Amino acid sequence: MEIKIMKNILDRNQNKAAEVRDLLALKKVLMVNIISSPGAGKTTLLERTCEELTKKYRIGIIEGDVTTDRDAQRLKKYNIPIVVINTEGGCHLDSHSISKVLDSFDLDNLDILFVENVGNLICPTQFDLGEAFKLAVVSTTEGDDKPGKYPMLFREAKAVLLNKTDLIPYTNFNIENFKADLSRINARVPLIGLSCTRGDGLKEWFKWLEDQFKTGIRI
């Protein structure tokens, strides 16, 4: 009974995600679904990314949060369109909520649409939003065992951003363990080390993202 209901929910989500994906392809908007644990640095990543890429691209953001608009408040200084979805306790975004808020964006004047999903390494992975791809963000302070322990996201992600590399000297994080774990889950996924507070790795991330935009919007 519960399994059937869950299947229905996922089927309906998938159908709506396909609609969203078609619409964004038509409008040539690259939608990136950013998933991480709470506090891994998604919003800081978006701050650094907006600072640089708004020079060249028209960027929009959908902020998924259980409650509050704090992340959106941090991002409004970039003068870009931002819509907040409060899930009111819900643990993930779904394609229906994305579809509804797309009306708030002028899709003809948008290049990249970031979705900052709810901070959760498990549930958001199950829900296709119609994104071009999922991006995994994980921070060194969470430990080097996360790919092995939470494989679903790392299996599906098109790239893995390892944030807070500046804190490695103060922790027992072992980059070789992390890489070995990740490569067992998803051998070819690009891994980009970042310190969003210090700036390390940002150029590599911008370049990778621009490559996705240039190739992705032609799909």
Q: Cβ–Cβ contacts within 10 Å for residue 201, how many?
A: 18
Nearer to a second copy, 23 or 72 (CB): 72
Nearer to a second copy, 72 or 217 (CB): 72
Answer whether 154's CB lies under 8 Å from 182's CB. Answer: yes
At its nearest, how many Å lie between a second copy and the CB of residue 141?
A: 4
Interface residue with a second copy among 76, 149, 203, 214 (CB under 8 A) is 149
Applying CB under 8 A, the span of 22-30, 59-67, 77-85, 98-106 interacting with a second copy comes to 59-67
What crossing angle do the helices spanning 202-216 and 42-53 adopt, rounded to 10°? 70
Task: Tell me: does residue 177 bind a second copy (CB under 8 A).
Answer: no
Task: Tell me: does residue 5 bind a second copy (CB under 8 A).
Answer: yes
Structure tokens at 120: 């959760």
Answer whether 75's CB lies under 8 Å from 96's CB. Answer: no
Binding track, positions 106-145, relative to a second copy; x by CB under 8 A = ------------xxxxxx--x------------x-xxx-x
Contacts of 51-57 with CB under 8 Å at 24 or more apart are 51/78, 52/202, 52/206, 53/112, 53/206, 53/209, 53/210, 54/78, 54/80, 57/111, 57/112, 57/213
Task: Tell me: does residue 37 bind a second copy (CB under 8 A).
Answer: yes
Main-chain dihedrals φ then ψ at residue 34, nearest 5 degrees: -95, 120
Q: Cβ–Cβ contacts within 10 Å for residue 215, how many?
A: 10
Interface residue with a second copy among 146, 154, 178, 205 (CB under 8 A) is 146
Q: Which residues bind a second copy (CB under 8 A)?
A: 1-2, 5, 9, 37-40, 65-68, 70, 89, 91, 118-123, 126, 139, 141-143, 145-146, 148-152, 164, 166-167, 170-172, 197
